[in-house]
Amino acid sequence: MRRENGKDLEVLTFGLEGEVFAVEAESVREILDLVSVTDVPNSRPFVSGLINVRGKIVPLADLHIRFGMAPFNQSVDTRVVVIEVPLAGEPTTVGIIADKVFEVTNLIDASIEEAPDIGLKWRREFISGIGKRAEDFVIVLDMERIFAMGDTETVAQAEAAAKNHS
Amino acid sequence: MNSPDPGEIFRTEAQELLEQLEQALLDLETAPEDGELISSAFRALHTLKGSGAMFGFDAAARFAHGLENAFDLVRKGKVAASGALIGVALSAKDHLRLLIERPEEASSDESARILANLAKTIGAAGTAETAAATDEGADGATQGETSSATYRIQIRFPEDVMDNGTNPLLLIGELQDLGTCTVSPLTERVPPLDDIKPSACYVGWDVVLTTEKPRSAIEEVFIFVLDDMDLRVEKVEETSKRLGEILVERGDTPPDAVLTALSNQQRLGEILVKDGAASKERVASALAEQRHLTAAAAQAPQKAQPLQDSIKVPAERLDNLMDRVGELVIAQARLREIATASQDLALKVVAEEIERLASELRDNTMGIRMVPIGSLFGRFRRLVRDLSRELGKKVQLFTSGEETELDKTMIERLNDPMIHLIRNCIDHGLERPDVRTQAGKLQEGRVELSAVHSGAQVIISIKDDGKGLDRTRIRARAEEMGYLAPGAKVTDNELFQVIFQPGFSTSREVTNVSGRGVGMDVVKRTIEGLRGAIEINSTEGHGTEITLKLPLTLAIIDGLLVRVGLGRYVIPLSMVEECVELTPEQNLRAKNRNFLSIRGELVPFLRLRDMFNVTADAEPFPKVVIVSAGDLRVGLLVDQVIGDHQTVIKTLTKLHADVETFSGATILGDGSVALILDIDHLIDFGRAQEERLKAS
């Protein structure tokens, strides 16, 4: 993703199975410890839980499943990052599980590059850009697409579905 | 909190007044003579004019003024409320709405055109007066603002008054038409029988009149006999007076006679009569005046009361209040949990008290949000009227159960689906008048709207006496579109549900009212979005009835909390019939046939553990919760019944839109989340799952 205004991107970085991912800090509402999760039977495995975020019932998403990793295992470092994403035009609060939350940091605009065609084991549509932080890569996620798309459908299908919806 | 925009206040008020006006106009169509309706229309216009001018909606105020003048003529009986006049008035009302809501779009030419049209309808007599009244301008506004006053009218006719054809009783009757009237006849001048001339009038009258009309209106009544008669009209204070004061004021008794009498302990009136200071009749008349004044004085504050009885609150504040109450209920559930676990008696007492208060507060708050459904039904009268003209069909709308109350949000959201269903009724359901005559029906088609409470549900039905649904055609079309396997056996209800498929239409002609196959699926989605259900009944040739079943409120329900594996779920209590235990033997026997015998009746049950893929250990003594869904009674096999739970409903996000078995979720006392079961969908899901098992 090329950022048109040339400003640095403020992100929250977190870990999933040793990889460093990032979401735009702007969309982050809060970070919570993981407490009781309610299973939603027969829902998609990727969003199979509900949590109580101060009186609001919020779906809990496990990005591990989205990225083909094994489902999360709770540890002392496990956190829930509560973010707000537009879903079919409606801002929706969603919790995502992070194995570990690192920090809020600035990614220098010039260092963010588009995801390459090869060399990634994840679906490219989910990634809005790859930034550099010290010697490491940070994968900036496109949360809207991650939540908008079904488990198997392509970007084109999802966008068509979104259009039909509005 | 910022103060609301005054223009917005007026618009809100105007909306109600315009609705009142429309209702009155529509009612006048069937009862053109009803003075109460005419007054209601007139009052609405009058207020619109007054407040419009006050809030700077000058164009609207001027237009309302013209309309008001027209209605003043109707009110005075100079012009009849003809169908043509009401037609023009309705279009004028629509224009007035435009003037108020989107003044920039309204053209002044249109205003002039409608007013000219109105004048034409009223006729030449009316035109002059309408024009004259328009010139009066602001003067007209103040004139209308009369408040009521009480007059004492003493009427003494000459004996020969009837010789000229005057009938005193008719005149008294006219006075009675002006307002609340107490009439006391005075017969003291009536001579002994032998001396009576049959054509002479010996009787005088004392009248006490409370009226909104000016004094001149009273004198106008007697205008033709005024010169020959003795008429005294005095304004009196509307306070309770003593009899003596009244008699003296009226000049019937000298003040000192009253004082003398008062020094006695007997009843004043009796004494005065005995002393000859006043005739018995005059005392009776004065007593009558006293009663009238007391009544008038008592009435005055009562009239003012309704204004203070209700206040307007923005719906948003009510929503906020409901949210807070919802949170309170959740916090209270936590308190109850803590109190139950504790040994502290004082804590238990307080917890119980708070539970009671929270539950009352919840009911009251929900009560505030309840609105009678009549306000919704009222909106459709115009729709039916316009549609019947447009489609050339005669339609009569009947409504019942208008007083049935429903959550305000629900009423708002029902508007569009109801419009759609009524349109379908009139467009597809009802036949043309000639076809109806051939079928031996009344030319005029019937559309009935009714609402009734049934437990925690409201049942709304839309019924017509038209041709009914054509099963063969629906079936053919459904098979053609692949919704139904050819030749498959289906119940009527299942067949009719096909109508709700997107794009389904059997109509050969597409009118601009309906027939495009757009909409019924939207209707169904909206109703289901309100956690309601929709059913169709139809008899060919006799009509169709569409029934909407809706929950009373969207916010909080009483639920039964159950446990399945590790998860806890809420079953809406209104659907629960009873709970029974499934013994291990029964459980074992029921391995291949999930039936229970409840008092001889066969009840199928669903194993929620299987449906929810629960792996945790099962209880040795599971319970079956029997729920009723429509005509069906179904058992739900759960691990444990925990108890009743005041359930604050929170909707699920779109991420869980694919999981239909849950209608929402709620927060429990310990802060965890429990899902609310959607019984209808749960049964469907269970059925589908069984089908899959059978197939494999």
Nearest to B210 by CA among B238, B231, B185: B238
Three-class secondary structure assignment of chain A: CCCCCCCCEEEEEEEECCEEEEEEHHHEEEEEECCCCEECCCCCHHHCEEEEECCEEEEEECHHHHCCCCCCCCCCCCEEEEEEEEECCEEEEEEEEECEEEEEEEECHHHCECCCCCCCCCCHHHEEEEEEECCEEEEEECHHHHHHCCCCCCHHHHHHHHHHHC
Q: Does A60 touch chain B (CB under 8 A)?
A: no
Q: Identify the helix (H) or strand (E) that includes residue B620.
A: none
Q: How far is Cα B495 from Cα B275, in angstroms, rounded to an integer?
A: 92
Return the residue matching tokens 């079956």. B624
CATH architecture of B149-301: 2-Layer Sandwich (3.30)
What is the architecture, at CATH level 2, of domain B373-551?
Answer: 2-Layer Sandwich (3.30)
**What pLDDT, on the 0 to 100 scale, is given for residue B592?**
64
pLDDT in tens, B164-205: 777 888 888 888 888 888 888 888 788 888 888 888 888 888
> Model confidence at B348, in pLDDT bands (50, 70, 90)?
very high
Segment B642-664, tens digit of pLDDT: 988 888 888 888 888 888 899 88
pLDDT at B626: 94
State the best of B334, B570, B656, B673 to mutate against chain A, taking most chain A CBs within 10 Å.
Answer: B673
HSE-up of residue A52 (Cα within 13 Å, Cβ side): 18
Distance of CA B184 to the CA centre of its chain: 42
What is the ipTM for the molecules in this complex?
A: 0.84
CA distance A97 to A61: 6
Contact B157, B204 (CB under 8 A): yes
Task: Look at residue A161 and tell me whether its pLDDT is greater than 60.
Answer: no
Distance from CA of A4 to the nearest CA of B (A): 31
Q: At what angle do helices B6-30 and B374-391 cross, to 10 degrees?
A: 60
C-alpha distance from residue B196 to each of B193, B200, B281 (Å): 5, 8, 20
Q: Which helix (H) or strand (E) holds B145?
A: none
The C-alpha atoms of residue B617 and residue B565 are separated, in whole angstroms, by 7
B271-317 residue pLDDT tens = 677 777 777 777 777 778 777 777 776 665 544 444 456 777 887 88
> Chain B neighbours among A 66-105 (CB < 8 Å)?
87-88, 90, 92-94
- Does pLDDT of A146 surpass 80? yes
Q: Among B33-37, B253-257, B461-465, which stretch is predicted with the lowest mean pLDDT?
A: B253-257
Q: What is the pLDDT of residues A128-144, one digit of tens each?
A: 888 887 778 889 999 98
Chain A residues in contact with B650 by the CB 8 A cut-off are 56-57
**Closest CA of chain A from B671, distance in Å:** 7
User: How confident is the model over B504-512, as a mean pLDDT?
Assistant: 56
User: How would residue B262 be classed by pLDDT, with cut points 50, 70 and 90?
Assistant: low
Is A45 near chain B, with CB under 8 Å? no
**Domain at B6-144: CATH architecture:** Up-down Bundle (1.20)
- Model pLDDT, residue A149: 63
Cα of A58 to nearest chain B Cα, Å: 8
| B672·A36 Cβ contact <8 A | yes
pLDDT digit string, tens, across residues B545-554: 999 988 876 6
For an interface test with B, the pick among A38, A90, A149 (most B C-beta atoms closer than 10 Å) comes out as A38
Confidence band of B138 (pLDDT split at 50, 70, 90): very low
Higher per-residue confidence, B172 vs A163: B172
Q: Which residues of B touch A (CB under 8 A)?
A: 327, 330, 566-567, 611-614, 650, 652-656, 658-659, 661-662, 665-667, 670-675, 685
Q: Which residues of B are less than 8 Å from A59 in CB distance? A: 652-653, 655-656
- Cβ-defined contact of A50 to B567 (cutoff 8 Å): no
Residues of chain B with C-beta less than 8 angstroms from the C-beta of A87: 653-655
Say whether pLDDT at B672 is over 90: no
Q: What is the pLDDT of residue A24?
A: 92
Whole-angstrom distance, CA of residue A106 vs CA of residue A8: 6
pLDDT score for B642:
92
pLDDT at position B131: 42
Q: What is the mean pLDDT of chain A?
A: 82
Backbone angles phi, psi at A75, to 5 degrees: -135, 180
Q: How far is B585 from chain A (nearest CA, A)?
A: 28
- Partners of B670 on chain A (C-beta within 8 Å) are 36
Residue B143, pLDDT > 50, answer no
- 8 Å CB contact of B662 and A40: yes
Rg over alpha carbons for chain A, rounded to the nearest Å, is 16
Q: Stretch B351-365: mean pLDDT, rounded?
A: 88
DSSP string, B457-498: EEEEEEEE-SS---HHHHHHHHHHTTSS-TT----HHHHHHG
What pLDDT sits at residue B137? 39
Q: Confirm if B584 and B620 have CB atoms less than 8 A apart.
A: yes
**Residue A38 at interface with chain B, using a CB cutoff of 8 Å:** yes
Q: Give the span between the Cα atoms of B428 and B423, in whole angstroms.
A: 8
* Percent of the residues in chain A that have a pLDDT greater than 90, as a whole number: 33
pLDDT at B319: 79
> Using CB atoms, which residue from A52, A55, A147 is nearest to B655?
A147
A71-107, pLDDT tens digit by residue? 888 889 999 999 999 987 788 999 999 999 999 988 8
pLDDT confidence band for B381 (50 / 70 / 90): confident
Among the residue ranges B52-66, B251-265, B330-344, the one predicted with the least confidence is B251-265
DSSP letter at B653 equals: P
> Count of CB contacts below 8 A, A vs B?
73
Q: Name the residue among B612, B658, B665 with its Cβ closest to that of A57.
A: B665
The domain segmentation of chain B, as residue ranges, is: 6-144, 149-301, 319-371, 373-551, 556-695
* Cα–Cα distance measured from residue B432 to residue B410, given in angstroms and rounded to the nearest whole number: 34
Q: Which of A52, A58, A145 has the most B C-beta neighbours within 10 Å, making it the best mutation to test the interface with B? A: A52
- Percent of chain B at pLDDT above 70? 87
Task: Give residue B126's pLDDT band: very low, low, confident or very high (50, 70, 90).
Answer: very low
CATH topology of domain B556-695: SH3 type barrels. (2.30.30)
Averaged pLDDT, B80-97: 83
- Closest approach of chain A CAs to the CA of B593, in angstroms? 24
In chain B, what residues touch A52 (CB-CB under 8 Å)?
A: 667, 671-673
Statement: residue B508 has pLDDT above 80? no
Judge residue B42's burial from the number of C-beta atoms within 10 Å of its C-beta, 0-12 exposed, 13-18 middle, 19 or more buried: buried
Arithmetic mean of pLDDT, B607-617? 88
Torsion, CA B226, CA B232, CA B235, CA B240, rounded to 10:
-140
CB contact under 8 A, A92 and B654: yes
What value does the mean pLDDT take over residues B7-26? 82
Residues of B in contact with A47 (CB under 8 A): 655-656
Residue B468: name the closest of B449, B445, B485, B490 by CA: B445
* Alpha-carbon span B441 to B447, nearest angstrom: 14
Instruction: Compute the distance between CA of residue B237 and CA of residue A31 in angstroms, rounded to an integer.
Output: 73
CB B662 within 8 A of CB B345: no
Per-residue burial over B108-144, b if 16 or more Cβ lie within 10 Å, else e, is: eeebeebbeebbebbeeebeebbeebeeeeeebbeee
Q: Which residue of B has its CA nearest to A165?
A: B654
Using CA coordinates, name the residue in chain A closest to B658: A43
Determine the Cα–Cα distance for residues B574 and B557; give it in Å rounded to an integer.
9
Give the per-residue pLDDT at A156. Answer: 46
The predicted pLDDT at position B240 comes to 63
Q: At what angle do helices B58-75 and B35-54 cross, to 10 degrees?
A: 160
Query: In A, which residues are within 8 Å of B327 by CB distance?
Result: 55
Listed range (A46-50, B265-269, B355-359) with the worst mean pLDDT? B265-269
> Are the C-beta atoms of B625 and B571 separated by less than 8 Å?
yes
Supply the pLDDT for residue B560.
Answer: 94
Highest mean pLDDT among B149-153, B196-200, B400-404: B400-404
Q: Looking at residue B692, what is its pLDDT?
A: 81
- Pick the residue with more confidence: B147 or A108? A108
Query: Does B613 have pLDDT greater than 50?
Result: yes
Sign of the dihedral defined by the CA atoms of residues B330, B336, B341, B343, in that order: positive
Selecting from B612, B655, B672 the residue whose C-beta is nearest the C-beta of A47 gives: B655
CA distances from B235 to B181, B183, B216, B291, B414 (A): 14, 16, 12, 16, 53
Q: How many CA atoms lie within 13 A of B281 on its CB side?
A: 12
Residues of B in contact with A41 (CB under 8 A): 567, 611-614, 659, 661
Distance, C-alpha B214 to centroid of its chain: 35
Please identify among residues 112-151 of chain A the ones whose CB lies closer than 8 Å to any CB of chain B.
Answer: 147
Confidence of residue B324 (pLDDT cuts 50, 70, 90): confident
Cβ separation of B653 and A51 shorter than 8 Å? no
Does the pLDDT of residue B561 top 90, yes or no? yes
Q: Which residue of B has its CA nearest to A40?
A: B675
Judge: B667–A57 Cβ closer than 8 Å, yes or no.
yes
Domains along chain A?
Answer: 9-165 (2.40.50.180)
Mean pLDDT of B223-243: 75
Question: What is the structure's pLDDT at B524?
Answer: 86
Q: Is the pLDDT of residue B92 over 80?
A: yes
Closest alpha carbon within chain A to B665: A57
Q: Quick check: B659 and A41 CB within 8 A?
A: yes
A126 pLDDT tier (thresholds 50, 70, 90):
confident
